Copies of this chain bind each other. A is one copy, B any other.
Amino acid sequence: AVAYFQATGKRVLLDALCRYADYIDTVFGTAPGKKRGYPGHEEIELALVKLYRVTGEKRYLHLSQYFIDERGRQPHYFDIEARLRGEDPAAFQHKIYEYNQSHLPVREQREVVGHAVRAMYLYSAMADLARELHDQSLFDADQRLWNHLCTTRLYITGGLGPSRHNEGFTADYDLPNETAYAETCAAIGLVFWNHRMLQLDCEARYADMLERALYNCVLSGVSLDGQKFFYENPLASLGAHHRQEWFWVACCPPNIARLLASLGEYIYAVNDKDLVVHLYIQSTAQMTVGGREVTVRQETIYPWDGTITLRLGMDEPSMFGLRLRIPGWCRNAQLKVNGDAFDIASHLEQGYVRVERVWQADDRVELELAMPVERMYAHPNVRQDAGCVVLQRGPLVYCLEGADNKVPLHRIVVPRTAELASHFGPDVLGGVTVVSGNALAEEDTDWTGTLYRSWPASLQPGAITAIPYYAWDNRQPGEMRVWLREGGS
């Protein structure tokens, strides 16, 4: 309803939605006669903030605040509700209230748990309320949860929630690859949450995580032709996992469509003093900075290379800060303003280089982000990735696919010293940068008649070709693998 109103200016859906929200407000709350309930699947909380923002009606904000504040309090509402239905609360099908993050009041939660999509929507709403209500305690809780997620429970693809069982989180450092659930909607929720964290605090690490999810686990959720979708985004496949046209619970396809259609919202941000560039995506935007209209034209083929040119447009010169994100994956960035080198290191604020000056029309800013192929490793507590390496270039995580490589892929060993090159393949998967190099593969030609023997398989040299993870399963069915075995030399 909010999106329809914003896109068309028509209130018909919005008015209906307001009546519905008003009704919900008559049922739930702390006032006498109301139920002290809240949803099992968080989502309305962030929606009510959206509704407040377009209508200006504070009661929607307060209803959202009520749901967030009430969540996880004792006596537990879901226990009460179960007894009212004549059920034993212990018979709850998901066993524990961690499943829907109602095990504790939200400000006391320190670990990301349970159903991953629900968690992302909850944390997003907490960030929304932290911003609208200037509630530092909600932001503090969100920061603790964010740190827990990104240091213990996040796939390198930005996927999250490894278990199909609860569609969610398991234990710290438990990140299985073949069986990774990593629902597309959870990665989309991670984009939502980090976007809101960025609005609270312009720290590049939030944009880094947003970008990691966006270019990997979110984008893998849809086929290159836009016709098929992944619900689950494993990091390895034996060849039987494929995108589907639709799902019984069809959240992911419209969610990804909505995200891609609204991508423009994520690229830039403004406040009174600054114009911020979070993402590098070819685009043109008009914004108001300190009361003045500014146009930004961004020219780039990012993520295929790291050269970005920004051209500013405005009616008259204007003093403001231009903040450009220096991505966490980038070790070497160069900046020029109207052709003159600008020292990034001495102007870096929370991962963003800030160029403050009187800008004028046709000012040109050139950012050069070095984008070599990087080897990435997982924390040694992640047993599923032990001895393995991921190839990454810029924000893109790469994978091997059977279509390009000799299978089985687990037989391939990438020497630590192997040189890896990248080149743009205009005819590959609609045009992607491909990573290639020399590796080794275990031979089995001399291994017959037994499953075990006292000397290992011999290794034969061979070439490997890696493609961006998001683009896998767009050719003939086959194996896929993100974490590659690494050899000593």
Contact = CB atoms under 8 A, between A and B. Distances in A.
Interface string A371-399: 00011111111110011011000000000
A152 to B, nearest CB: 7
A416 to B, nearest CB: 8
Contact of A378 (B150, B377, B452): B452
B387 A485 contact: yes
A410 B207 CA distance: 32
A457 B154 contact: no
A450 interface: yes
- For the complex of A and B, 8 pairs with smallest distance between CB atoms: A488-B488, A383-B410, A380-B442, A380-B457, A377-B456, A386-B410, A380-B444, A380-B411
A389 B453 CA distance: 10
Nearest to A383: B410
Interface string A244-260: 00000000000000000
Contacts of A374: 454
A135 interface: no
Contact of A443 (B152, B380, B453): B380
A430 interface: no
12 contacts: A150-B450, A156-B451, A375-B454, A375-B455, A377-B452, A377-B456, A378-B451, A380-B411, A380-B447, A386-B411, A386-B442, A386-B485
Interface string A303-344: 000000000000000000000000000000000000000000
A376 B453 CA distance: 5
Contacts of A379: 444, 447, 450-452, 457
A447 to B, nearest CB: 6
A433 to B, nearest CB: 18
A328 to B, nearest CB: 9
A449 interface: yes
Contacts of A378: 451-452
A189 B448 CA distance: 25
Interface string A468-489: 0000000000000000011111
Contact of A452 (B156, B410, B454, B486): B156
Given A377-B453, A379-B452, A380-B443, 4 more contacts: A151-B450, A374-B454, A377-B457, A380-B457
A432 B408 CA distance: 39
User: Copies per complex?
Assistant: 2
A413 interface: yes
Interface in A64-108: none
A395 to B, nearest CB: 13
Interface residues of A, number: 42
Contacts of A457: 377, 379-380
Interface in A121-177: 150-152, 154, 156
Contacts of A489: 488-489
Contacts of A456: 377, 389, 416, 486
Given A374-B454, A454-B374, A487-B488, A151 B380 contact: no
Contacts of A443: 380
A21 to B, nearest CB: 39
A170 B451 CA distance: 16
A151 B453 CA distance: 11
A193 to B, nearest CB: 17
A376 B454 contact: yes
A156 B452 CA distance: 7
Nearest to A458: B380
A195 B350 CA distance: 70
Nearest to A413: B387
Query: Which of A154, A389, A485, A488: most chain B Cβ within 10 A?
Result: A488
Nearest to A448: B151
Contacts of A416: 456
A453 B410 CA distance: 22
B449 A151 contact: yes
B386 A452 contact: no
A455 B377 contact: yes
Interface in A436-468: 442-444, 447, 449-457
A241 to B, nearest CB: 15
Contacts of A486: 456
Contact of A408 (B381, B408, B413): B381
